[in-house]
């Protein structure tokens, strides 16, 4: 009988945006499930410090790939070399830094080009590099880290709201096209305590002329669980979607937001 368990032994996960926040937390949880992990980000020192921690937590092997998702040519070259040296990827956590905050009416074409490059075009490029390996291995899990703004736009995140919608559509379309055993799903984080949330709170506070605590209180009031999320809680949901246990979940957007999103 086929195994639909929670182990990731024998699987190799690529965690983009793996040096901090939700990406790092997902790497830690998948390490504890026995996966080999490659963490990708720009900050080499953060990645290097993380590798022994991942191996201590149970990773079969932890590797760093220093790359900038804004530079697709270099990214493609270094990722191809990495695959040649360390073997195919079974699990891809498609994650990166979110676009700068601001109102949509103030956004420039440059802001959009940057977001489209980092999110959509980098994703398409990485997909082309990883798909042959997933097909050969007969196992693929692609998990996009988006935002609840896919369902409900968030004020002062004009470019981000727009690009998340495009990415959700990209993922849903792929879920119809990818072969069996290669699934794609999107995770929609709510307000989660990471570097990103601190910078969003600072921007909202400055725009509203209030302090950061006021913004956080306002956010917490909108969350039925009554608190901000921990990155590890997102990491656990990501690791589940990456596991054989999630084999029949395909093309969904899963909010992990303490119940904040009010639509069904
Ligand atoms: N936290 C929240 O409340 C929340 C809510 C909804 C949606 N989200 C979204 O979920 C995603 C992850 O959020 P987070 O809070 O974990 O963000 P974060 O703490 O800012 O971490 C972002 C990660 O992406 C990496 N990164 C950023 N730009 C990169 C680039 N050009 N190339 C390669 N790596 C890059 C960063 O590492 P380096 O700096 O080392 O490259 C870091 O590892 C983001 O898209 C965010 O907007 C977050």
Span 107-124, pLDDT tens digits: 999 999 999 999 999 999
Which one, of 253, 40, 77, 63, lies nearest residue 167 by Cα? 253
pTM over 0.95: yes
Task: Say yes or no: CB of residue 97 within 6 Å of ligand 1.
Answer: yes
Residue among 18, 21, 27, 65 to mutate when testing ligand 1 (max atoms within 8 A of CB): 21
**What is the CATH number assigned to the segment(s) 12-192+231-256?**
3.40.50.720
Chain mean position to CA 64: 17
> Distance between CA 124 and CA 7 in Å, rounded?
28
Q: What is the pLDDT of residues 117-161, one digit of tens each?
A: 999 999 999 999 999 999 999 999 999 999 999 999 999 999 999
Strand order in the sheet with 12-16: 61-66, 36-41, 12-16, 91-94, 140-145, 182-189, 253-256
- Whole-number Å distance, alpha carbon 92 to ligand 1 midpoint, is 15
12 close to 33: Cβ distance less than 8 angstroms? no
Instruction: Examine the pLDDT at 39 and tell me if it is beyond 80.
Output: yes
* Residue 12 burial by Cβ neighbours in a 10 Å radius (0-12, 13-18, 19+): buried
């Amino acid at each position: 009988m086929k195994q639909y368990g929670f182990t990731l032994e024998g699987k190799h996960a690529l965690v983009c945006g793996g040096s901090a926040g939700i990406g790092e937390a997902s790497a830690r949880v998948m390490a504890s499930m026995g996966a080999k992990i490659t963490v990708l980000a720009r900050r080499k020192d953060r990645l290097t410090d993380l590798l022994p921690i991942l191996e201590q937590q149970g990773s079969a092997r932890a590797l760093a790939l220093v790359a900038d998702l804004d530079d697709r040519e270099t990214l493609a070259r270094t990722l191809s070399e990495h695959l040649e040296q360390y073997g195919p990827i079974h699990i891809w956590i498609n994650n990166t830094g979110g676009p700068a905050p601001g109102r949509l009416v103030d956004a420039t074409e440059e802001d959009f080009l940057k977001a489209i490059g980092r999110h959509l075009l980098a994703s398409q490029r990485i997909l082309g590099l990883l798909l042959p390996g997933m097909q050969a291995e007969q196992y693929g899990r692609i998990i996009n880290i988006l935002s609840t703004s896919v369902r409900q736009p968030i004020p002062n995140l004009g470019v981000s709201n727009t690009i998340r919608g495009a990415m959700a559509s990209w993922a849903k379309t792929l879920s119809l096209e990818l072969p069996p055993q290669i699934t794609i799903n999107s995770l929609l984080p709510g307000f989660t305590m990471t570097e990103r949330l601190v910078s969003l709170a600072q921007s909202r506070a400055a725009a509203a002329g209030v302090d950061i605590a006021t913004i956080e209180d306002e956010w917490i009031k909108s969350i039925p669980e009554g608190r901000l999320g921990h990155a590890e809680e997102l990491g656990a949901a990501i690791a589940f979607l990456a596991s054989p246990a999630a084999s029949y979940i395909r093309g969904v957007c899963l909010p992990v937001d303490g119940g904040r999103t009010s639509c069904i």
